[in-house]
Amino acid sequence: MQFPSPVPVSWIATLIRAELIGDTTGHATGINEIHKVETGDLVFVDHPKYYDKCINSAASYIIINKKADCPAGKALLVVDNPFEAYCTIVNHFRPFEPAVKSISDTATVGAGTVVYPNVFIGHHVSIGTHCIIYPNVTIMDHCIIGNNVVIQAGTVIGSNAFYYNTKKDREVWYKKMPDCGRVVIEDDVEIGAGCTIDRGVSHDTRIGRGTRMDNMIHVGHDTVVGNNCLFAAQVGIAGATTIGNGVTLWGQVGVSKTLHIGDNATILAQSGVGKDTEGGKAYFGSPIEDAREKMKELVWIKRIPELWQKVMGSE
């Protein structure tokens, strides 16, 4: 999430009651998770395993629960509970706004766009020109819809991220991280009925131009889908995955989190993607393998009884 304007890091330190170490005169431009940080961002870390990674990332300001060496030009904000500090910052800059009507007065809808009855459009939503938004679609706060987009009935855009801070030493183990990211749907996208696209935790979930999605598809938080992709029904994509341009996912494909699928890859139906995948090839199976090799393997598996009979008969 980017702040409306740069914020003095000293003010942030006061907000979260942090000890400020390093560059005390800088200005933070946003707050993000480690896999999305940019120069000027705040990031939080509360586990020694990730101290070095966060301190040496692109982030300029690190909310941390232990004093450490601070690189030049950066600042550490030392607090007892970095996660709670993160929540405080997010809730300050992106507070909960209850809806009082079906289409918020702060939403904008472009010329030629058709919005059917029973559509909900939240605060600060932008919808482009010549779109069709079918009945019972829900578009939550801060989402961006491009031009010539079609969203079929019952789809939810911008649902909360399925993302929790986990600590086994407290009564409630799974504490939800407040999400402040968006969903951005680029021009000429078509989304089927009953789909759910989660907003980013702190950055954007993005659907690239010209992509086509069938019914009952789920896209997890912070996932980036390239241009001109084709997803068949019941595809499920976990969070923070990057899918290249021209990728085809056939029915009931499952994709695990934080993976990369290369351009023009094809994943055949009911396959499970559990690793980074090279582009320009077809894959099948769970876990996936090269489709041609997997098909050969299945042929040989079918022949096992026949081969066993030949071996036993030769004794």
Catalytic positions are 221
| DSSP tag of 48 | G
Stretch 120-138: mean pLDDT: 98
CA 113 to CA 218: how far, in whole Å?
A: 25
Residues in the chain: 315
What's the confidence (pLDDT) of residue 315? 57
Cβ count within 10 A of residue 100 = 7
- Answer with the residue of higher pLDDT: 170 or 29: 29
Q: How confident is the model at residue 314 (pLDDT cuts 50, 70, 90)?
A: low
Strands 196-198 and 41-45: unpaired
Do the beta carbons of residue 149 and residue 128 sit within 8 Å? yes
What's the confidence (pLDDT) of residue 310? 78
What's the confidence (pLDDT) of residue 33? 87
CA 163 to CA 221: how far, in whole Å?
A: 8
Stretch 285-299: mean pLDDT: 83
DSSP conformation letters of 44-97: EE-SGGGHHHHHTSS-SEEEESS-----TT-EEEE-S-HHHHHHHHHHHHS---
Stretch 1-5: mean pLDDT: 93
Stretch 283-294: mean pLDDT: 87
- Burial class from Cβ neighbours inside 10 Å (0-12, 13-18, 19+) for residue 47 reads exposed
- Answer with the residue of higher pLDDT: 297 or 261: 261
Distance of CA 17 to the CA centre of its chain: 30
Which phi and psi (to 5°) does residue 293 adopt? -65, -40
CA 251 to CA 236: how far, in whole Å?
A: 9
Strand-pairing partners, residue 20, are 77
What's the confidence (pLDDT) of residue 294? 77
Which tokens in the block code for residue 146? Answer: 């491009």
Q: How confident is the model at residue 311 (pLDDT cuts 50, 70, 90)?
A: confident
Domains of the chain from N-terminus onward:
2-93 (3.40.1390.10), 108-294 (2.160.10.10)
Of residues 146, 161, 154, the one with CA closest to residue 1 = 161
Residue 41 CB partners (closer than 8 Å, separation 6+): 28, 29, 30, 31, 32, 58, 59, 60, 61
Alpha carbon separation from 229 to 57, 58, 196, 199 (Å, rounded): 31, 30, 17, 19
